[in-house]
Chain A
Amino acid sequence: MSESVGVKTLLIDGQEVSARAGQTILEVAKENDIYIPTLCHLDGLTDVGACRLCVVEIKGNNKLFPACVTSVFEGMEVTTDTERLKKHRRTILELLFAERNHVCSVCVANGHCDLQAMAQEQGLTHVRLPYRNPELTVDASHERFTVDHNRCILCTRCVRVCAEIEGAHVWDVMGRGINSIVITDLHEDWGKSSCTRCGKCVQVCPTGALFDKSKIGSDHPKYPDFLPYLNQMREAQ
C-alpha cells in the first residue's frame, strides 16, 4: 500500500489490518472485530480519553496509549490485552466502584449497566480499596427523568450528547477532582433548567445515574445506538 492513498497497515494483537490515515486504533480494532474495553467512548460522540480503560501498548514505546484518541501509523504494532493492561483496567474499575455508591441490587440499571458488565468481563471479583461512601444528592425535579449522582462515573457522555447532538449544552461538569459532579445549566434543578426533554442523555448514560422515571425495578435497558444513525442522516442532508 502506498502512502499517497492514505492507507496504513498495522498489527493489532498480531493480526494484520489496514486503516485509513487518521483513524484511531479503536475504530480500526472495531472494524476488525478486535475487542478493546471502553466506558467513556460512545460511537457518535467525540472522544475525550477520560476513562483510560482502552489503554493499549504500542511496540517500541513504554507508555500506554488510549486507543480511542490515538491515531494509527504505518507499521504500528498494537497489543490490547497484556497482563499489565488487564491489571490496570481492573484497578481503574475498582477505583470507580469505590468512588461513589454503586449498589447493583437496588439500581434501576441492574443488568443493563455498562460498568457492571465491564466488571464482570474484566473478572473483577472484589474491591480492595476502601469505599469512600460519599454523601451525594438525587435530583428528581425533572418531570420525566432523575439524576442520581451516587451512580455517576463522570464519563461526560451526557455532557457531550447534549452539547454536540442536541445542541442545548444543558449538562456540564462542576467542581474539581474527586468533588466533580455533572450539573444542569449553572447548577440549577434539572426540572427548572433549559432542558429540552429530549432524553438523549438518559439513553447514553452507561449506568443508572440518569434514568427514566417511568421505569421501575431493574427494567431499564438503554438504547444509545441511535447516535451513529442520527449523525449519518444529518451528514447526508
Chain B
Amino acid sequence: MTLEELDQIAESVRAENAKFDHEINVCMGTGCLSQHSDKLRDALTTAVSASGKRAFVRRTGCMGLCAAGPLVLVDPEETLYQHVKADNAEAVVNSLGGQPVASLQCDLREHFDQQVHVVLENSGHIDPEKIDDYIARDGYRALLTAITDMTPNGVVHQITASGLRGRGGGGYPTGLKWGTVAKATGDLKYVICNGDEGDPGAFMDRSVLESDPQRVIEGMAIAAYAVGASKGYIYVRAEYPLAVARLTAALRDARRRGLLGNNIGNTAFNFDVEIRLGAGAFVCGEETALIASIEGKRGTPRPRPPYPAVSGLWGRPTLINNVETFANIAPIIRNGGKWFASMGSARSKGTKVFALTGKITNTGLVEVPMGIKLREIIEVIGGGVPDGHTFKAVQTGGPSGGCLPAEMLDIGVSYDALVAVGSIMGSGGMIVMDDTSCMVNVARFFIEFCMTESCGKCIPCRAGTAQMHTLLTRICDGSGTMADLELLVDLCATVKETSLCGLGQTAPNPVLSTLRYFKNEYIEHIVHKRCPAGVCNIAGATAAIEAPEEVLA
C-alpha cells in the first residue's frame, strides 16, 4: 500500500458515492441500536428501493446526541432527524429532494456549533466496518507519510510540539512518554491501547472504538513506528461487544489492505495488533494492572518505578496510551503539531471528548476545545438541567474526580484548572446533578464503587475504602456523629497518600470535594438528622446532638 494507492481507493469511494443524490446516514452506535436503529436502517433501505430514488443508506457510528436517538443524517442537505422510528422511514425517504420532515427534524444549532470535532471528525460520517470509507476521509495518509517521509524521532517531535497530553486522565505529556519508550533499549517493544473504560457514566472510548476503529489502529501504528515497536495490543472490556466486533473487523480489513503486518507501505516497518478482552475490573485500567492482565496474571497493580516505558509487558519497554490519545495522532501527523497546539488553553492543547450524562437535557457525546467554560458545556451544549430543576453539581473524572458546585462553572476545562478546584479531568465522564441529588449519598455511591473495584492488594485502599463506606452509610442513615466525620477526613488522608496505585490515591476525591463544597449537607445529616435533598431515608432519627463549635465553623 502506497499513498498513490490510497488516493485510488479514495477516488473509487467518491466515484461510488457520486452515483447517489442523497446519503442517508443511520447512527448504529450502542445508544441508537438500543432504540432499534438496525430495524430503522432496514426500513430505510426498503423504502429507498421502493421509491426508486438515487439514495444510499449507510450505517455509521455515534452522532453524539444520544438522548435524541435514533438519529438519521441526510447528506448533502445536512438534515438531522431525531427519534426516528422504522415507521418514519417512508416519510424520510419521500422527503428527499423536497422539504424535510418537520416533525422529526432536530434543530439544535447551539449543541453542535460550540463543538470542534477532531477525534470525532469521522464519527457519524463513515461506516465503521468499511476501511475504504475511512481511507476516503484521509485515513492512513498519516501512517504512510510517517513511515515513508519522517524519521521516528521526527514523529515524536511532532507529537511533542502538539502539546498533546494523555487522555486517559493523568494528563502525562504524550510526546515525553513516546520519547522515553523510543530511547529505552530493547530488541522488542510493545504498544498498548488502553480501552478499559470503567468510570460510571463514561462512554467516550466505546464510542470512538465503535464509530472509527481504524483511527485508533492508525494511531497505534504511528506510535509503534515512532518508538520502535512491532507488536500492539488493544485491551478492551468484554462488556463492549459492539466495539470488539468492529475492532476485529477493522483489524482484519487493515491486514488485508496491507496496513498492518509485515513491510507496511513497502518499508521495513512491521506491526500487528491483537485484541485482549478485559473481564470488567475497573483497576485493570491502571497501566501496570492492565499489563499484568494481558500477561494472563491477576489484574493487580505493582509499584512504579520501573515505569512500563522501561519495563512493561513481559519486562519489555511498553508504550501505553488511552483510546482517545491514539485517536488524536493521525490528524496531528497530517496537519502538524502546531495546528493541534493552536487549539485549547496554555497547558492543555487540542480538544477533549466528554460523555455528558445525568440530569442534563442533551445526553450524549460532545467534543470541545480545551479551555471552554464548564458553564458552556452544561448550559449551552448540554441544554441545561431539564424539568425545571436547578443545577447543583457536576462530577468530572468519575470515581477519581470531584463534584464541582455552580460557583465553579466559570472555570475553563483544562487538566490544571480542574485539579486546582479539587477535581480531575479524568477520561471525560461528566455527570450533572440537580437539586434532587444528595451529595453525601453521591460520595457514598462513588466510595462504594471504589470499594468493590479495589483489587485488595494494599491495605489503605482495601480496608480504607470499606471503612469510609461504613462511615458514609452511617451519616446517610442518620446515625453518624461528628466524630465519624473527623475519622472520615483522617481516613481520606491516609488512603490518598499511602495507597499503592491511582485507584486508591484518588478514591477519596469525591468525599473531599463534597466536603469542600457541600459540607453543610454532611452537617445537616449528622446534626439535624435530615437530608436536604430528601434522598436519604433517615428513619427514626434520634434527637439532634450537640456538635462542637469548631467543627461547625
Instruction: List the interface of chain A (C-beta within 8 A of B).
Output: 48-52, 55, 63-64, 66, 69-71, 87-88, 91-92, 95-96, 98-99, 128-130, 132, 153-154, 172-173, 175-180
Contact pick for B459, options A50, A128, A130, A175, CB 8 Å: A50
Q: A95 and B460: CB pair below 8 A?
A: yes
Q: B467 and A154: CB pair below 8 A?
A: no
Question: What are 25 sample pairs from A and B whose C-beta atoms fall under 8 A apart?
Answer: A49-B458, A50-B458, A50-B459, A51-B459, A52-B500, A66-B500, A70-B303, A88-B497, A95-B460, A95-B494, A99-B462, A129-B467, A129-B491, A130-B467, A132-B470, A154-B457, A175-B456, A176-B281, A176-B454, A176-B456, A177-B452, A177-B461, A177-B465, A178-B451, A178-B463
Q: B466 and A132: CB pair below 8 A?
A: yes
Q: Assuming the A-B contacts A130-B467, A132-B466, A178-B462, are A48 and B302 also in contact, with contact meaning beta carbons closer than 8 angstroms in the complex?
A: yes
> Within the complex, what minimum Cβ distance (angstroms) separates A177 from chain B?
4
Residues in chain B near residue A154, CB distance under 8 A: 456-457, 459, 462
Q: A64 and B462: CB pair below 8 A?
A: no
> Which residues of chain B from 439 to 468 have any CB-CB distance to chain A below 8 Å in the complex?
451-467
Residue of B nearest to A66 (CB): B303
Size of interface on B: residues with Cβ below 8 Å to A: 33
> Which residues of chain B from 72 to 93 have any CB-CB distance to chain A below 8 Å in the complex?
none
Contact pick for B456, options A55, A63, A177, CB 8 Å: A177
Q: B491 and A91: CB pair below 8 A?
A: yes
Contact pick for A177, options B451, B491, B494, B500, CB 8 Å: B451
Residues in chain B near residue A49, CB distance under 8 A: 302-303, 458, 500
> Within the complex, what minimum Cβ distance (angstroms) separates A36 from chain B?
14
Residue of A nearest to B464 (CB): A95
Q: Assuming the A-B contacts A69-B303, A71-B305, A132-B466, are A176 and B459 also in contact, with contact meaning beta carbons closer than 8 angstroms in the complex?
A: no
Residues in chain A near residue B494, CB distance under 8 A: 87-88, 91-92, 95
- Which 3 pairs from chain A and chain B are nearest by CB? A180-B456, A177-B454, A95-B463
Residues in chain A near residue B458, CB distance under 8 A: 49-52
Residue from A52, A92, A153, A179 having most chain B Cβ neighbours under 10 A:
A52
Whether B487 is near chain A, meaning CB under 8 Å from some CB there, is yes
> Which residues of chain B from 14 to 55 have any CB-CB distance to chain A below 8 Å in the complex?
none
Residues in chain A near residue B457, CB distance under 8 A: 48, 50, 154
Residues in chain B near residue A172, CB distance under 8 A: 298
Q: A52 and B298: CB pair below 8 A?
A: no
- Given the complex of chains A and B, what is the CA–CA distance between A87 and B453 in angstroms? 26
- Given the complex of chains A and B, what is the CA–CA distance between A64 and B494 in angstroms? 11
Residues in chain B near residue A69, CB distance under 8 A: 303
Q: A129 and B487: CB pair below 8 A?
A: yes
> Within the complex, what minimum Cβ distance (angstroms) separates A89 from chain B?
9
- Given the complex of chains A and B, what is the CA–CA distance between A180 and B455 in angstroms? 8
- Given the complex of chains A and B, what is the CA–CA distance between A98 and B471 in angstroms? 13
Q: A88 and B456: CB pair below 8 A?
A: no
> Within the complex, what minimum Cβ distance (angstroms) separates B216 from chain A?
29
Whether B490 is near chain A, meaning CB under 8 Å from some CB there, is yes
> Within the complex, what minimum Cβ distance (angstroms) separates A202 from chain B?
22
Residue of B nearest to A175 (CB): B456
Residue of A nearest to B298 (CB): A173
Q: B490 and A91: CB pair below 8 A?
A: yes
Residues in chain B near residue A48, CB distance under 8 A: 302-303, 457
Residues in chain A near residue B230, CB distance under 8 A: none
> Within the complex, what minimum Cβ distance (angstroms) separates A126 from chain B?
13
Contact pick for A180, options B462, B465, B493, CB 8 Å: B462
Residues in chain B near residue A50, CB distance under 8 A: 457-459, 500
Whether B499 is near chain A, meaning CB under 8 Å from some CB there, is yes
- Given the complex of chains A and B, what is the CA–CA distance between A154 and B460 in angstroms? 12
Residues in chain B near residue A173, CB distance under 8 A: 298, 456
